[in-house]
A = this chain, B = another copy of it.
Amino acid sequence: MHAIAEFTIIPIGVGVSLSKYVAACEGVLEKSGLLYELHANGTNLEGEWDEVMQAIKSCHEKLHEMGAPRISTIIKMGTRTDREQKMAEKTASVRAKLKSSDSH
């Protein structure tokens, strides 16, 4: 089951600056081989359901190792059986609609 996902990982109890932890998680994703993309409030990634979930779990393990005593993560998981879809197509599809409405 292919999934298009997004997640935001929040280490709790390590102070107010979280970018070091987000960077460590990006390192984990890089090693995972999955397609991923950092944005201002989280990270998009796609792949097989189990691989996506394993990558997010590895981020939790990594951040706990770095000393985060508590972690709260928000995950969006999208799956579909009607057709294959890639992450890049989702924004492309919206942008095509925007463009066509501009021309009217």
User: Taking beta carbons and an 8 Å cutoff, which residues of A are in contact with B?
Assistant: 1, 4-6, 8, 10, 12-13, 15-16, 18-20, 22-23, 26-27, 37-42, 44, 49-50, 53, 56-57, 60-61, 64, 68-82, 87-88, 90-91, 93-98, 101
Q: A49-B60, A77-B73 are in contact. Are A38 and B91 (CB under 8 A)?
A: yes
What is the predominant secondary structure among interface residues of chain A facing chain B? mixed
Tell me, rounded to whole Å, the shortest Cβ–Cβ distance linking A29 to chain B. 11
- Is the beta-carbon distance between A71 and B80 smaller than 8 angstroms? yes
Tell me, rounded to whole Å, the shortest Cβ–Cβ distance linking A23 to chain B. 4
Tell me which residues across on chain B come within 8 A of A15, comparing CB atoms: 13
- Is the beta-carbon distance between B74 and A75 smaller than 8 angstroms? yes
